[in-house]
Amino acid sequence: MIRHIVLFRRRPDVARDPQREADLAARMTALGADIPAIQFWRVAANEFERPISWDYVLESEVADAEALDAYLLHPLHQALVADLKPYFEWAAVDYTVGADSTAA
């Protein structure tokens, strides 16, 4: 199982637009039901304002690297990414669930 985590925040050069942001967040939330490779999907908004906070988190799981590629290359995902880029910046981490990445 591969866990795919993405943090989103409004780009510093973009003015806050609550309606646009709500629409993008709703589209992110809905995407999980539209792509067969996705086994788990959750989008949540940040609740506590701190200097290191990001605005949203996406948590998802897929079966394996092949399923991750299927999700990332899916046309619905690609269309959403194109619409997210002008408003959000993001950082992602993908890792194998259960793998001990801290072992020496």
| Structural contact between residues 95 and 73, judged by C-beta atoms closer than 8 angstroms | no
14 Cβ contact list (under 8 Å, min separation 6):
86, 87
Q: What is the pTM of this model?
A: 0.89
16-66 pLDDT, tens digit each:
999 999 999 999 999 999 999 999 999 999 999 999 999 999 999 999 999
Element at 92 (helix H, strand E):
strand 88-96
For residue 88, what pLDDT band results from cuts at 50, 70 and 90? Answer: very high
